[in-house]
Amino acid sequence: QKEVEQDPGPLSVPEGAIVSLNCTYSNSAFQYFMWYRQYSRKGPELLMYTYSSGNKEDGRFTAQVDKSSKYISLFIRDSQPSDSATYLCAMSEGGAQKLVFGQGTRLTINP
Amino acid sequence: AAGVIQSPRHLIKEKRETATLKCYPIPRHDTVYWYQQGPGQDPQFLISFYEKMQSDKGSIPDRFSAQQFSDYHSELNMSSLELGDSALYFCASSSTSGRTNTGELFFGEGSRLTVL
């Protein structure tokens, strides 16, 4: 079993819909939680960064971390076709520690 | 804003040859990480450096080595290349403020290695 589990999808939704992406993990030592967006053949782009539990909002994006359930989520409001990409969750035990990635969810927003 | 710079962007090598990838971190970032991403796979951690010293090691083959130089750029050297080494190789960097690393990793665009 992988340390971080993420449904690979693919996930296809109409433009304007609210998208919910999530990951579960098994390592209770994880403290830093990130969401990356990756377009085809490009590097992962950091979208959201959260330390420990709680919510964080940035524009149309909201990240939630529930350490008690070992569950993290990313919500995208008013989804746009330009949001079509692979979304990777990632987490680490400490500030300079390596990131462990989920498998990535391929998302398509249909106009 | 300056980002992580990787070179070359594309590289084609034959089996058993050697390849070197370079990474220039974001200015004032002191920690560099190397990841390997196979087709349809999530990035796998290879190795990291903090202040020119190896800080962590992941699933890096013995045929690979890396180092970080005094200007904080890093190089990943891969020898005796195998077909299975064909992948995207990403470099990422992060910064330490005081004694605490922010934990935010910023990735470069990657170097695509093809081994024939």
**What number is the average pLDDT over the span A35-59?**
91
Q: What percent of chain A has pLDDT over 90?
A: 78
3-state secondary structure of A57: strand
**What number is the average pLDDT over the span A24-38?**
94
Distance between CA atoms of residues B42 and A105, nearest Å: 10
Residue A53 has pLDDT above 90, yes or no: no
Residue B15 has pLDDT above 70, yes or no: yes
pLDDT of residue A51: 85
Residue entry with tokens 């196979």:
B38
Mean pLDDT of the residues in chain B: 92
Residue B99 has pLDDT above 80, yes or no: no
Residue entry with tokens 């035990």:
A93
Q: Which of B42, B102, B112 sits opposite A101 (nearest CB)?
A: B42
Instruction: State the smallest CA–CA distance between residue B112 and chain A in angstroms.
Output: 9
How, if at all, do strands B10-13 and B111-115 pair?
parallel
Residue A87 has pLDDT above 70, yes or no: yes
For residue A10, is the peptide bond before it cis, meaning its omega torsion is within 30 degrees of 0?
Answer: yes
Provide the token pair at B19: 């390849």
Residues of A in contact with B31 (CB under 8 A): 96
**What number is the average pLDDT over the span A16-36?**
95
- In terms of C-beta distances under 8 Å and separation of at least 24 residues, what long-range contacts does A77-82 make, across chains too? A77/A18, A78/A16, A78/A18, A79/A13, A79/A15, A79/A16, A79/A17, A79/A18, A79/A19, A79/A109, A80/A15, A80/A109, A81/A15, A81/A109, A81/A110, A81/A111, A82/A109
Instruction: State the smallest CA–CA distance between residue A5 and chain B in angstroms.
Output: 11
Q: Fill in the amino acid letter for B101.
A: N
Residue of B4, B10, B37, B42 to mutate for A, most A C-beta atoms under 10 A: B42
**What number is the average pLDDT over the span A57-61?**
95
Instruction: State the smallest CA–CA distance between residue A89 and chain B in angstroms.
Output: 10
Which residues have C-beta within 8 Å of that of residue B63, sequence separation ≥ 6? Answer: B78, B79, B80, B81, B82
**What number is the average pLDDT over the span B9-29?**
96
Mean pLDDT of the residues in chain A: 93
Nearest of B89, B103, B8 to residue B46 by alpha carbon = B89
Better pLDDT: A10 or A2? A10
